[in-house]
Amino acid sequence: MFFNRKNLLTGLILLVLSVICSSAGYAEFDNPFASDGKLDLKQGGATDAAKASTKKVVYDSADRPAKVAVIADLHVQDSKQKMLQTAVKAINALPDIYAVAITGDLNKKIGSPAEYSEMIKLVSRFKVPIFAVPGNHDILYRDFFGKNNLKLRTPPAERKAKLERFRKALKLKSLRFSRKVGGHLLVFLPNDDLKGKWLVSLSTGALNFLKDTLRKNRDVPTIVFCHAPLEGSYVKERSLGPHNSNAQPAGKIRAILKNNPQVFLWVSGHLHIGPASNEYHNQANKVGKVTVIHTPAIGTNSAWMRVLDLTPARAKVRTYNAKTGKYAKKYERVFKHKVKKDKPDSPGNSSGDDKNDGKNDDKEDDKDVDQDDDPASEDEQTDPPKIEEEETDDDVDTDANTDSDEEADTGNSSSAGEDTDDNDAAASTDSDTAKTNATVELIEQLIEKISEFLKGLWSGILKILKV
């Protein structure tokens, strides 16, 4: 009996030693302060960024070139099935396709459960992620028609339910969201004003989301997706009238965009403006410094779409004919961005800094909270992305006044870099101190945990020996 207890005790002691050794080894492997090497962290989304080294800029997945197809006004119904299926197949087959953006009116007329069922059957055929915003035919009307087959407006509670129906049908986490793709920020805005009287009305929450998102990404070229276009982005007045034809409230949207010159594209549908119209690719598409990209509706005999070819250096807007499988060269637009080159001795040149993903950027964001609506605030005067539309040789409608619309340089670039070495040294000292403190704290926690474990184990051994 004594022999068995002795063997048991020996085995338990060996087990304790093994656990201690393995714990130390585990801590060395998993502790970011244990070595000079960096942990390889998996990205949690498009907003996460890889840190750049001091010698070379490292682009993460948000900066890699990507294509985003854009379709609008599907109005899914039997008469369009052939063209709708053609569009889906064409998008799935596009090389290097990242996602498809759908700028509203996916449903035929009123967005009833039956219409949603047909719509879901179609979009489920996409083999790429879907980024969608609702149109008026998706959320604005009741699930039944009134007299003379007229559409009836939803009351606030029912509209809220239909917005949720849209979100679930498209498997979206939120109706307002953004993604960083191909060196650009994509912002998606729903017409979600529960009491809005116009066909496309953004709620106060949506407007605040837009302002807050743009405030945190002032140095990232930005594209906004919304069902309706900006006021003044076409030539002829529509029968819907100026309010129902455009995104509302037009004045507030215009003010936000004016204070955020990084927004250079507004992508929409709603008006069914296609390549056959002289308004499709026209100087009038430019409102202030934002160019509105009108997306054609899918028709019974046509399947046009826009394709955004995005890289950190430029955005190329192309028109693709799904029927022929060819791009229409004459409608191509190219917007070039002034990309900061890698300068190790200057602040703000790493890919992480450029996208406001570092800790220092969060601090800057906190400082700017109360300055968002102030056009003369310090942040508004910092250099935004310099965006230039490149003219194409065979496009007679290309914008002619590109140079006059460009942001002027502030001329402060040299003075801004004078204190770079001191700032870097201070940041390095703070970083080393933080690492040392964290290391000591981690070791103390490990010792405490091991002590508790040994006490518990020894207590268990004593109990066993007494049996």
- Amino acid letter at 313? A
Query: Homologous superfamily of 66-337 in CATH?
Result: Metallo-dependent phosphatases (3.60.21.10)
Give me the residue label for tokens 């455009």. 246
Sequence-ordered list of residues with C-beta below 8 angstroms from that of 462, at least 6 positions apart, any chain: none
Would you write out the chain's pLDDT as a tens digit for each of its 467 residues?
444 555 655 666 666 565 554 444 433 333 332 333 332 323 333 333 333 322 333 334 788 999 999 999 999 999 999 999 999 999 999 999 999 999 999 999 999 999 999 999 999 999 999 999 999 999 999 999 999 999 999 999 999 999 999 999 999 999 999 999 999 999 999 999 999 999 999 999 999 999 999 999 999 999 999 999 999 999 999 999 999 999 999 999 999 999 999 999 999 999 999 999 999 999 999 999 999 999 999 999 999 999 999 999 999 999 999 999 999 999 999 999 986 654 443 343 333 333 333 333 333 333 333 333 333 333 333 456 666 665 443 333 333 222 222 223 333 333 333 333 333 333 333 444 444 545 555 676 677 667 777 777 777 777 677 65
Q: How many helices (H) and strands (E) does the chain have?
A: 12, 14
- pTM of full prediction above 0.75: no
Sign of CA dihedral 100, 103, 106, 112: positive
Nearest to 73 by CA among 211, 220, 198, 200: 200
**Rounded to whole angstroms, what are the CA distances from 322 to 127, 262, 304, 328, 395?**
16, 31, 6, 11, 21
Structure tokens at 456: 């518990």
Rg value, the chain, Cα: 28
